[in-house]
Amino acid sequence: MAILRLFASAREAAGTGRDVIEAATVSGVLAAARARYGDQFEALLPSCRVWVNGEPADSDTPVTPDDEVAILPPVSGG
């Protein structure tokens, strides 16, 4: 289980900025999020960065109930 935090377009696609997902790894969290939030959410994931507790993470990174998994889409500014 982990706390999932969604930002910017990921939050818009999911319809929420925060959720709790039961999974043992980042890939499990992302798979559950894809199933929960649908095609629009899934389509933006390849361009996103994933962090666990403020550190870059890959799909094999383990997660526990105390961990925060953040999905950060690219941001443009001007």
Model pTM above 0.85: yes
Thinking of the domain 2-72, which architecture would CATH place it in? Answer: Roll (3.10)
Q: What pLDDT, on a 0 to 100 scale, did the predictor assign at position 75? A: 78
**Residue 14: its pLDDT value, please?**
97
Residue 78 has a pLDDT of 54
Percent of the chain predicted with pLDDT > 70: 96
Residue 71: other Cβ atoms inside 10 A: 25
**Residues 38-58: what's their mean pLDDT?**
96
**Averaged confidence pLDDT in the chain:** 95
User: What are the structural domain ranges in the chain?
Assistant: 2-72
Distance CA 76, CA 63 (A): 29
The CB density around residue 18, as the number of other CB atoms within 10 Å, is: 11
